[in-house]
Structure 1
Amino acid sequence: MNVLYLSYDGLTDGLGRSQVLPYIFGLQQKGHTFTIVSFEKSVNFQKEESTIQKLVDDAKIKWVPLKYTSSPPVLSTIYDVYLLRKMVEQLHNEFPFHIIHCRSYITSLIGLQMQKKHNVKFVFDMRAFYADERVDGKLWNLNNPIFKTVYDYFKRKEIEFLGNADYSISLTKKGKDIIHSWAKVQNQPVPVEVIPCCADLNHFHPSRVNASRQTELKKQFGLTEDDFVITYLGSIGTWYLLDEMLDFFKILIQKRPNSKFLFVTTDNPNTILPAAKSKGVPSDRIIISPAKREEVPTFLSLANAAIFFIQPVFSKSGSSPTKHGEMLGMGLPVIANSGVGDVDRIIEDTKSGILVREFTNEAYEKAVSQIDELLNIPVSTLQNAAHKYYSLEEGVKRYSSVYERICSQ
């Protein structure tokens, strides 16, 4: 199939490297041909353009980078959509596409138009509930009439995308169930495939641990064999609950005085250390360090367990935390909160971690009391969970199946 892939995220963004290119490389190997149009942020583009260009050239993928416009709000997005529409029409005239694969909602505005105008198959890869995510993340204040108008517009378009797409992609089964419950969507039950944010389980694997570097890091961080280490991977950002994770860790220290909290993150330590201090967590129990991608498995190998708490809001019903698959792939049991995407279902189905159902000291104490049991989970059980739910190969297979189904209709 000849596929035009549209992404409002840049390939030079970390997200583009981890959640766009790996799938496309896999699909290309299955015989599909790709042209990618993405919106690139200037700083990232200057740093990473040559690296990404070599990757796509080697894979024989055509890449058309457009400049992302960041301001003024709303108007800048309208301008980007205008540029995208012009470029897509031009590309389709040069070399007609069978499928237009649209990552998230902005690019789907063009995908729906192309479907109606040129009868191109339209894949709505929604990622999450975009408009609700903007509100839940406090990026759109609905008391502002402009943002309320934009929110209402995208909620209407969401219904239109789902009702008209040849196939929609949800990151979670929970999201799929919500979509199928919406009476406003025409042609129910609409075709939806569940493909989570998959992890590169060849990279996130204990075999990628550098033993000598591991020894260096233990010395650098002052870790001993008696220490109990929990780790958090990635930036804190909008959605992750630093205060609640520190509250949990404070209870953990009370029960296991030898505990340390390792943050593998590029975030400024000043976003974490003051919060820890305010919670009464001693600074010598907190370790904060960035890691290059190739070193992340070695950093994670220092830990006994991993943790992430995410805001359990409606928009996160459609969210799939990539770090979950990466942690499981490394053989780390996970402590996570309930109410986020399919995390509850995955942990309960695979018995691969502890679910914290409330952000209370009582709930944290209950979770801490289960840690001995957590540490007895075989590594093979954890890695099998990663492969069952987060395998990149399985994700590629599902995307390819979607392409084949819609083109055989």
Structure 2
Amino acid sequence: MNTSDKNVLFFVPEWPALDSAILHSQVLSVASFLNQEGFSCRFAGAETSPSRAQEAIAVIAAQYHVQAYVAPVLLPPEGPWSFWRSSRRVYDSMRSELADAGITHVYARSFIGSMWARRLARKLNAISIFDVRGLVGLEKQFTSGSSMKSRFISHLELQQGRRADRLTTVSENLKEYLEDKIGRHDVTVIPSCFNETRFFFDSNARSEIRQSLDLNENDILLCYSGGMSAWQRIADIISLFKRVCSADGRCKALFLTTSQEEVTRQLQKAQFPSGQAFVRGCAHQDVHRYLSAADIGILLRHDTPVNNVASPVKVGEYLACGLPVILTRGIGDYSAMLPAAGVGMLLDETTDIAEQVLQFIHRTNFESLRVKAIRFAKDRLTMSANLNQYRLLYAGSPGNRVQVC
């Protein structure tokens, strides 16, 4: 496929363009990668003030080499109304700004963004693409209970899935869900890919950080990297790590988080073994250094419809830095995929999970498993590994649209 005639606009005005971690790791990194592969990608987003908008434009150009349009129209609090308002305002400016730009595809990654991206695509005679990253309506039902609002959100999500010209999603499970609910069989699956330039095994960092933590070669460092949201099950992780570290003095726990005070408080409340837990925070570009120092990554989720179709980017980040992943059932495609590939262990939560982790540690050669994990990540979870899927998604011309009643 000739990619030089693919002029893609990433239309994502829902989050602050300057410093949204999701936006930078999962949108701008992809735009930058596709530019390197011969596409021509631009970005349309929003910020909270003119000064932040100008700074975002400069940062995006310098770090990603992507031409950006950032409007100072984003207002707190974050939520559906804020998303709608910013998307509408950016749409208003882009339909005239890009009228003669030759845009061939307009990408969106939320159902609200897709509403305006589809309209913009029609104005520009382009193909609309809706990247379905999860199920917001079902997530609302899981966290707050079923309500008219959550059911309406689910309705809007599926409506956009029917109406967008192209659909892409992050897991085979989510593809099957969409096929069942809206009857579309043209969904392209591209997992949440990690950024190869930011996540990789760093042997020097491993030595430096383990030395700073006073770890020897025989110590096993279990790592949790993430936040404190309920769905991340931090209390369960602390409980598991406590039991493992109490049973085997070689085991230590690293919590890499922006919520250091809260994690420290919970560790104290749990009476975690003294000297066996480390709580650290760092800039995004240094996360790989700490992951390189660890030996095992952890990912616990509840077995719910929302998690069954997910594709946590954390999986790729762990593996890229050489960490096998211990995980629970029902995490997208990964709960089956990683153990089958020999780069993860699936916990059976109906029995003693601490004993399962200890058995895994005792039988594992971490040096050889590190090599295997890195290879799996590069072969399956990088943007370059999924280049053919990107080409498939952006194939064709604006005449290749779905017909919507």
Secondary structure in 1 matching 2:395: helix
Which amino acid is the alignment partner of residue 223 of structure 1? L
2:290 to 283, 299, 303: 299
Give the aligned partner of residue 214 of structure 2.
222
2:255 to 256, 263, 266: 263
Secondary structure in 2 matching 1:404: coil
Give the aligned partner of residue 354 of structure 1.
345
Task: Check if 1:35 corresponds to 2:42.
Answer: yes
Measure, in 2, the Cα distance between the counterparts of 1:90 and 1:368: 61
Secondary structure in 2 matching 1:37: strand
Give the aligned partner of residue 177 of structure 1.
176
Cα deviation digits, residues 33-78 of structure 1 (max 9, x gap) = 223111335699489636524326x725243344322248554344
Task: Check if 1:273 corresponds to 2:264.
Answer: yes
Deviation of 1:315 (Å): 1.6
- Report 1:337-348 matches (<5 A): 337-348=328-339
Which amino acid is the alignment partner of residue 87 of structure 2? V
Measure, in 2, the Cα distance between the counterparts of 1:255 and 1:232: 19
Q: Which runs of 5+ in 1 are unaligned?
A: none
Using the size of structure 2 for normalisation, the TM-score is: 0.86
Deviation of 1:406 (Å): 5.5
Secondary structure in 2 matching 1:266: coil
Structure 1 stretch displaced more, 66-75 or 273-282? 66-75
Give the aligned partner of residue 16 of structure 1.
23
Deviation of 1:82 (Å): 2.7
Secondary structure in 1 matching 2:30: helix
Give the aligned partner of residue 363 of structure 1.
353
Using the size of structure 1 for normalisation, the TM-score is: 0.85
Deviation of 1:399 (Å): 1.8
Measure, in 2, the Cα distance between the counterparts of 1:190 and 1:64: 35
Deviation of 1:382 (Å): 1.2
- RMSD of aligned alpha carbons: 2.8
Contact 1:356 1:364 in 2 (8 A): no
1:375 to 355, 359, 365: 365
- Report 1:201-212 matches (<5 A): 201-206=196-201, 208-209=202-203, 211=204
Cα deviation digits, residues 326-357 of structure 1 (max 9, x gap) = 11112211111111111212213311111113
Give the aligned partner of residue 88 of structure 1.
94
Measure, in 2, the Cα distance between the counterparts of 1:274 and 1:389: 38
Q: CA distance change for structure 1 residues 10 and 311 in 2, over 3 Å: closer, same or farther?
A: farther
- Report 1:45-60 matches (<5 A): 45=52, 49=56, 52-55=59-62, 59=65
Measure, in 2, the Cα distance between the counterparts of 1:297 and 1:77: 32
Measure, in 2, the Cα distance between the counterparts of 1:295 and 1:114: 38
Q: Which runs of 5+ in 2 are unaligned?
A: 1-5, 401-405
Contact 2:106 2:129 in 1 (8 A): yes
Contact 2:207 2:293 in 1 (8 A): no
Secondary structure in 2 matching 1:288: strand
Q: CA distance change for structure 1 residues 118 and 153 in 2, over 3 Å: closer, same or farther?
A: farther
Contact 1:231 1:307 in 2 (8 A): yes
Measure, in 2, the Cα distance between the counterparts of 1:294 and 1:117: 38
- Report 1:35-184 matches (<5 A): 35-41=42-48, 45=52, 49=56, 52-55=59-62, 59=65, 61-71=67-77, 74-115=80-121, 119-138=125-144, 142-143=146-147, 148-149=148-149, 151-182=150-181
Deviation of 1:231 (Å): 1.0
Measure, in 2, the Cα distance between the counterparts of 1:48 and 1:271: 31
Measure, in 2, the Cα distance between the counterparts of 1:41 and 1:357: 45
Task: Check if 1:6 corresponds to 2:11.
Answer: yes
Deviation of 1:280 (Å): 3.0
Deviation of 1:98 (Å): 1.7
Task: Check if 1:328 corresponds to 2:319.
Answer: yes
Cα deviation digits, residues 96-137 of structure 1 (max 9, x gap) = 522111122221011233455665311111111122234434
Deviation of 1:303 (Å): 1.5
Measure, in 2, the Cα distance between the counterparts of 1:331 and 1:72: 35
Cα deviation digits, residues 178-201 of structure 1 (max 9, x gap) = 11122xx2xx33311111111123
Equivalent pairs counted in the alignment come to 392
Give the aligned partner of residue 306 of structure 2.
315
Q: CA distance change for structure 1 residues 368 and 55 in 2, over 3 Å: closer, same or farther?
A: same
Q: CA distance change for structure 1 residues 53 and 178 in 2, over 3 Å: closer, same or farther?
A: closer
Give the aligned partner of residue 282 of structure 1.
273
Runs of 4+ in structure 1 off by over 6 angstroms are none
